[in-house]
Amino acid sequence: MDFELSEEHLLFRSTLREFVDKEIRPVAREWEHEGRYPTEIVEKMKTIGLFGMTIPEEYGGMNVDMVSLAIVFEELSRGWMGIAGILGSHSLAAWMIATHGTDEQKHRYLPELATGQRRTAIALTEANAGTDLQAIETRAWRDGDEYVIRGSKIWITNARYANPLPVLVKTDPDADPRHRGMSVLLVDQGTEGFVISKDMPKLGYKGPESAEVLLDDVRVPVENLLGGEEGRGFKQVLAGLEIGRINVAARSVGIAQEAYDQARAYAKERHAFGQPIADFQAIQLKLAEMATNVQAARLLTWWAASRADSGVRVDLEAGMAKWFASEVAIQNSLESMRVHGGMGYSTELDVERLYRDAPLMSIGEGTNDMMKMIIAKGLVDGRVVID
């Protein structure tokens, strides 16, 4: 039993941390407040191969293990969680194509997705269907050698840049159970009827767009049905979301760690009543709790990632990591603001951004209440025994 990173993982983390410190931290606050898209950072992530993390080497990708994936998202989120979001949606969709796509789909898309020449995303959520994906209303029907898609999606990260955009649809709305009538279609950028209608206004998670997508009788060739078989979309998406939840857990750890780091540094610098506030027991108790929680969240995330690397189903493990780590991110960001006092509420520091970004982690890739239900089902079914 080893709770430490390997030498390779440590070197990988060091490289990522250097990248974040050099390329992201110096501009994050200004660009985030401006709502500016981080084009330059995206270009630099292409050059170091990050867009190929979940793509096999035979297609030009890095095919990193899941612990390395978690390291990437933690380190990026310590600098600016919005950057991690750009890479997260891409990595999830690329993994789905690599895992479930036909040979033709893999050869057509993966080489350019690995370099970032193409980017991708995932279109699941609708106005009336978030946690309950089986309630989606977007439809697709076969018309000769094409599928015709009609519907809309919201909160789609990377929507403007996705090429292709995997879209979850109902190809058989009368199927029973409902999930057997769901499929994923790969929509190429520029297809007629595919419209980015607007950006969704957000509390945090600035930088990447979260857009509403309209699909007005969009026609795609039958060759763009992911995996080439109707009715498999729901299972394809759920498998991807297990990996996505490790990503969100790691992002949460990054936010929580950064919140702790900033609280600790400020407590040592800020003086009150003639001494650093770090000398006061009230502050020490906060720091102790923050540090313990972030380390527990990190180890839980690494555990889920290593289980995924072993090839087993990780819905329970990823659910545990995502739920716990995201709650720690929320708690640590608030406690860091309290340690900072009035300055924590100021946009001159980064603490308020952490506070605004953290709540999304408890919602993204399934709400935390849903995570608890997934965990409970796995425990009751006996798939994983905790003892």
Which residue numbers are catalytic? 365
Residue labelled with tokens 């329970």: 316
The tokens describing 180, both together, are 């057997």
DSSP letter for each residue of 59-124: GT-----HHHHHHHHHHHHHH-HHHHHHHHHHHHHHHHHHHHS-HHHHHHHHHHHHHTSSB---B-
The tokens describing 96, both together, are 């789905």
DSSP 136: -
Beta strands 210-221 and 194-199 are antiparallel
CA–CA dist 12, 76 (Å, integer): 13
The tokens describing 336, both together, are 């860091």
CA–CA dist 322, 366 (Å, integer): 9
Number of residues written out for the chain: 387
3-state secondary structure of 168: strand
Angle of the 351-361 helix axis to the 25-34 helix axis, nearest 10: 70
Beta strands 146-157 and 139-143 are antiparallel
3-state secondary structure of 183: strand
ω before 177 within 30° of 0 (cis)?
yes
HEC string for 251-274: HHHHHHHHHHHHHHHHHHHCEECC
DSSP letter for each residue of 289-324: HHHHHHHHHHHHHHHHHHHHHTT---HHHHHHHHHH
Contacts for 169-174: CB closer than 8 Å, 24+ residues apart: 169/136, 169/138, 169/139, 169/140, 169/233, 170/136, 170/137, 170/138, 170/139, 170/140, 171/139, 171/140, 171/141, 171/142, 171/147, 171/230, 171/231, 171/233, 172/230, 172/231, 173/139
The tokens describing 244, both together, are 């996505």
